[in-house]
Copies of this chain bind each other. A is one copy, B any other.
Amino acid sequence: MSQEKLAELRGRLCEVANVGAAVVLLSWDQETYMPPKAAPGRGQQLATLSAISHQMFTAPELGALLDELGDGRASLEPDDAALVAETRYDYDRAKRLPESFVRRFVEEQSKAYESWVKAREENRFEVFRPQLDVLVGLLKERAELLGYTGSPYNALLEDHERGMTAEELRPLFAGLAERQGALIRRIVESGRRPDTAWADQEWDTQRQWDFTMRVLEDMGFDFEAGRQDRSVHPFTTNLELYDVRVTTRVNPRLLFSAVMSSVHEGGHALYEQGFLERDRHTPLAAAPSLGLHESQSRMWENVIGRSRPFWEHYAGRLRDAFPSQLDGVSVQQLYEAVNRVEPSLIRVEADECTYNLHVILRFEIEVGVIEGRIAVADLPEVWNAKMKEYLGVDVPDDLRGCLQDIHWAHGSMGYFPTYTLGNLYASQIFERILDDLPGLWDDIAAGRFGGLLDWLREHIHRRGRRDLAPAVVRDVTGREPGAEAYLGYLERKYGELYGV
């Protein structure tokens, strides 16, 4: 009996997933290949498809199925019980959002994205402001519809980092700001700066591209079940388990930008390719939180990709790509250049030491905006003041200030904190990995990533959404998630690099 019901549930979820795949492809195409005049129509297509998906997922028949399966959960296999419970969670949340709201939200997202692009072209926040005002209104409405305790911001956090609250993040972030701020000051005051004058050249974009493809392949990305393309803002997405797509951007002036971006997105993509076949098309084929997702991308990008052993291996390959330009540049110089610390304006190009500060100021602004303490119109001013306070830099214009990120244009608030949580999870998990794989750094110096990937598959990826992020971290590391591992890692690595 419950086997039939389970099959029916899986069938319905597969149909919803198929519509979801279309939504993903429409979005992917929007940022990779879509011609510009198609933008308004694309917004409508996304709105229609999102509404259909929402309608299918919130169908009363699906609710009835979940009721029946929930009543008999004592007799379900653990996998099936997890499927029912996680679908229930999503179903109850989705039910709180009327279809008209979903449709309106997607339509306004597309408009906001366009006005954000325009505002960037004109380098004027004011062009984006009216549409951001609309989105913030919708986000507040969303929070009320979803419900929350404490700050209304918690309803939005829940979308990205289930169970997390602004109240919990505040002291955590305050601690990070203090110790990272102190580290940055020591570095700046040391007066030491790596010599990166050699990097100030033109780097052929095709060769950069080929290099990123090679690294992705080495990492274990399955190109038979995914691909890489170019976009203005790198991202990872997936239509389904066997169709995972990353993007990167290639800048002829920046040698490390494309490869670090590919390694980052590759970390996300390996996670997406690592879910279980039996979870395909269901809510279980997903990370429990964006923070845990980011732990994968950031472990690959920062812990691995900015390590000395990594560059011991790839220095030779990079030299093969740029023989005359890298003539005489040592492994140590590459390692120092890819870890250069400098308080700067742009989050996505920020180094590891300053990165979290970019996140913290966004978190504070978002909470203020959603709680109604900061007006959208005041964003540039607040932004610039906080940049001065946290990073000591002056923001020359909106493009390099509050217009730099795509997130708000997508109607995403509550997302940024997951980047920092990802950093914390990554370091804590990596300590355990080193315990389990004592030869890991030797492997990496030899370009062998298979042992690491196997470990991640077994301990993180295959779980899908069976446990929440803190439970995964606890289970893997034997400790509560915290900031100690991360701060220790940062202070050791950069203490050594900068002699502070």
Contact = CB atoms under 8 A, between A and B. Distances in A.
Interface of A: 14-15, 18-19, 21-23, 25-26, 29, 33-38, 40-42, 44-45, 47-49, 52, 222-227, 229, 239-243
B229 A38 contact: no
B224 A41 contact: no
A29 B47 CA distance: 20
A91 B91 CA distance: 34
Given A25-B22, A25-B26, A44-B14, A35 B240 contact: no
A36 B226 CA distance: 8
Contacts of A222: 37
Contact of A225 (B14, B35, B227): B35
Task: Give this chain's copy count.
Answer: 2
18 contacts: A18-B45, A19-B48, A21-B45, A22-B23, A22-B25, A22-B26, A25-B26, A25-B29, A35-B224, A35-B225, A35-B226, A35-B243, A37-B225, A38-B225, A38-B239, A41-B241, A41-B242, A45-B240
A427 to B, nearest CB: 32
A252 B144 CA distance: 61
B35 A242 contact: yes
Contacts of A26: 21-22, 25
B48 A15 contact: yes
A14 B14 CA distance: 25
B19 A49 contact: yes
Contacts of A41: 21, 239-243
Contact of A37 (B42, B48, B49, B242): B242
A222 B37 CA distance: 10
A52 B239 contact: no
Contacts of A25: 22, 25-26, 29
A202 B37 CA distance: 37
A29 B25 CA distance: 9
Contacts of A18: 44-45, 47-49
Contacts of A22: 22-23, 25-26, 45, 49
A55 B21 CA distance: 19
A156 B79 CA distance: 47
B33 A229 contact: yes
A14 B225 CA distance: 33
Nearest to A243: B38
Nearest to A38: B243
A282 to B, nearest CB: 14
Contacts of A226: 35
Contacts of A224: 35-37
A21 B52 CA distance: 14
Given A18-B49, A45-B21, A33 B242 contact: no
Contacts of A42: 243
A351 B44 CA distance: 43
A272 to B, nearest CB: 13
Contacts of A38: 225, 239-240, 242-243
A151 to B, nearest CB: 36
Given A22-B25, A38-B225, 11 more contacts: A14-B44, A21-B41, A22-B26, A25-B29, A35-B224, A37-B225, A38-B239, A41-B239, A41-B242, A42-B243, A52-B52
B227 A33 contact: yes
10 closest residue pairs by CB, A with B: A18-B48, A38-B243, A22-B22, A37-B225, A37-B242, A18-B45, A41-B240, A21-B45, A37-B224, A38-B242
A38 B280 CA distance: 12
A345 B29 CA distance: 37
A36 B243 CA distance: 9
The interface centre, meaning the residue of A23, A29, A37 with most chain B CB atoms within 10 A of its CB, is: A37
Contacts of A23: 22
A26 B19 CA distance: 11
Given A41-B240, A41-B242, A227 B48 contact: no
Contact of A239 (B14, B45, B49): B45
A47 B11 CA distance: 13
Contacts of A243: 34-35, 37-38, 41-42
Contacts of A19: 48-49, 52
Given A44-B18, A239-B45, A243-B41, A223 B35 contact: yes
A397 to B, nearest CB: 28
Contacts of A241: 41
A295 to B, nearest CB: 25
Contacts of A34: 243
A52 B56 CA distance: 11
